[in-house]
């Protein structure tokens, strides 16, 4: 079955540590996205990528980094510069058709907590 796989489901970060969240898709989608979800808040876009080896900052990119070396993979690194990383992180993908009605397909998320 096609879909998006995020791992791990739960992740703990120590002070000063970088951690990487994995996101893999086998939907052959061009676009991939990382969102952050905090309790009581809507989703906020961290980074997105529309093509391999290219990505754009979203609304809250500070303290995060990404790479897109393969179409299927879009890992997110939460760096030590992100002072409040505790949140639920969702990876998504979509086709790029240009009509604006492209729906997002989401993974099951990673809950990141700080020790």
Partner 1 sequence: AQKITQTQPGMFVQEKEAVTLDCTYDTSDPSYGLFWYKQPSSGEMIFLIYQGSYDQQNATEGRYSLNFQKARKSANLVISASQLGDSAMYFCAMRYYNAGNNRKLIWGLGTSLAVNP
User: How long, in residues, is the chain?
Assistant: 115
* 9: Cα within 13 Å, side-chain hemisphere: 1
Which residue spans within 14-98 are E strands per DSSP? 19-25, 31-37, 44-51, 54-57, 64-66, 76-78, 87-94
CB of 106 to partner 1, least distance (A): 4
CB of 76 to partner 1, least distance (A): 16
DSSP state of 82: -
Q: How far is the CB of 62 from partner 1 (least distance, A)?
A: 18
Q: Considering beta carbons, is residue 85 or 107 the nearer one to partner 1? A: 107
Tell me which residues touch partner 1 (CB under 8 A): 40-45, 88, 90, 92, 100-101, 103-109
- For partner 1, the closer of residues 80 and 102 by Cβ is 102
Identity of the residue, 63 or 109, whose beta carbon is nearer to partner 1 in the bound complex: 109
Q: How far is the CB of 100 from partner 1 (least distance, A)?
A: 5
Nearest-angstrom CA–CA distance, 58 and 93 = 15
Of 2 and 40, the one with the shorter C-beta distance to partner 1 is: 40
Distance separating alpha carbons of residues 33 and 46, to the nearest angstrom:
8
């Amino acid at each position: 079955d096609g879909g998006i796989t995020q791992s791990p489901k739960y992740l703990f970060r120590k002070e000063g540590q970088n951690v990487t969240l994995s996101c893999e898709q086998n939907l052959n989608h061009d676009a991939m996205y990382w969102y952050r979800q905090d309790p009581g808040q809507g989703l906020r876009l961290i980074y997105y990528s529309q093509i391999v080896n290219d990505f754009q900052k979203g609304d809250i990119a500070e303290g995060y980094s990404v790479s897109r070396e393969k179409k299927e993979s879009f890992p997110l690194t939460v760096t030590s510069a992100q002072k409040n990383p505790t949140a639920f992180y969702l990876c998504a993908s979509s086709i790029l058709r240009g009509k604006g009605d492209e729906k997002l397909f989401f993974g099951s998320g990673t809950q990141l907590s700080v020790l």
